[in-house]
């Protein structure tokens, strides 16, 4: 499968058309941004690592019955995907307080939540991906009720699957962001699942092994991503 016209360039990925009208190629870049792209940088080999990790996680989820846009890994940086229409929602599930939730509610980072917290954010950088609820999503016609119910139910299942997968690898899944897309009348899990989109802490030391090392200038970012790759392949 060959790349044709580039149709989109995001902060971490490029998307290309292919000869097949139903399929796209997504290419993972080393570029890293944070705080609505006010902070920019490069994480060496991030694209390669995130492509591999996403490949492993999409395969694992598919094997457990989750429908995703993943078709196959083409090479180091490229993944063949179904041509979904992205639902403009960022779904977040939180198992432990961190990041946006710590800030919003003035909570200490690291508190284990009694139950997972599910959030919708409107996917709009110019508004800083604001927190919304299902009423906003319906009123703004971002998705209909049936789609929202499916997205919510599927996200909780994905949380359980990812939590237990990472736990076996000695990693705590603190929180993560998912995106979904429409394909031939169905909703599929889309985008990527990687240390860019998940907070992952070492189970023993609670060391951060994700993009927070970049966001917060903690150093050792490349090593952290390689460590996650080692753990998920091990």
Binding stretches for ligand 5GP (CB under 6 A)? 90, 92, 98-101, 129, 175-177, 196-199, 211
Measure the CA–CA gap between 223 and 45, rounded to whole angstroms.
Answer: 10
Sign for the pseudo-dihedral over CA of 82, 143, 180, 197: positive
Tell me which residue has its CB nearest to ligand 5GP. Answer: 99
Residues ≥6 apart with Cβ < 8 Å to 43: 30, 32, 214, 221, 222, 225
Name which of 27 and 196 has its Cβ closer to ligand 5GP: 196
Q: Nearest distance from residue 132's CB to ligand 5GP, in Å?
A: 13
Measure the CA–CA gap between 197 and 212, rounded to whole angstroms.
Answer: 10
Q: Nearest distance from residue 123's CB to ligand 5GP, in Å?
A: 8
Measure the CA–CA gap between 154 and 19, rounded to whole angstroms.
Answer: 31
Q: Nearest distance from residue 3's CB to ligand 5GP, in Å?
A: 23
78-82 and 70-73 strand pairing: antiparallel
Name which of 16 and 176 has its Cβ closer to ligand 5GP: 176
Q: Nearest distance from residue 37's CB to ligand 5GP, in Å?
A: 10
Q: Nearest distance from residue 35's CB to ligand 5GP, in Å?
A: 10
Name which of 31 and 196 has its Cβ closer to ligand 5GP: 196
Nearest to 129 by CA among 173, 159, 99: 99
Contact 118, 156 (CB under 8 A): yes
Name which of 36 and 76 has its Cβ closer to ligand 5GP: 36
Name which of 88 and 99 has its Cβ closer to ligand 5GP: 99
């Amino acid at each position: 499968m060959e790349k044709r016209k580039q149709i989109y360039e995001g902060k971490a990925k490029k998307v290309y058309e292919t000869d097949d009208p139903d399929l796209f190629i997504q290419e993972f870049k080393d570029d890293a941004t944070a705080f609505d792209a006010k902070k920019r940088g490069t994480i060496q080999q991030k694209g390669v690592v995130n492509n591999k990790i996403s490949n492993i996680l999409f395969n694992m989820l598919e094997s457990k019955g989750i429908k995703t846009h993943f078709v196959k890994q083409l090479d180091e940086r490229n993944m063949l995907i179904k041509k979904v229409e992205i639902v403009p929602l960022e779904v977040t599930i939180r198992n432990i307080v961190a990041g946006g939730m710590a800030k919003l509610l003035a909570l200490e980072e690291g508190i284990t939540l009694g139950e997972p917290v599910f959030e919708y954010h409107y996917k709009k950088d110019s508004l800083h991906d604001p927190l919304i609820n299902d009423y906003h999503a319906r009123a703004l016609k971002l998705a209909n009720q049936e789609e929202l119910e499916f997205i919510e139910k599927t996200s909780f299942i994905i949380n359980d699957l990812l939590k237990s997968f990472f736990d076996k690898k000695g990693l705590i899944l603190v929180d993560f962001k998912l995106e979904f897309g429409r394909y031939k009348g169905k909703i599929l899990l889309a985008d990527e699942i990687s240390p860019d989109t998940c907070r992952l802490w070492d189970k023993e030391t609670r060391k951060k092994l994700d993009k927070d090392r970049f966001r917060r200038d903690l150093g050792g970012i490349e090593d952290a991503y390689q460590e996650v790759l080692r753990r998920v392949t091990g």
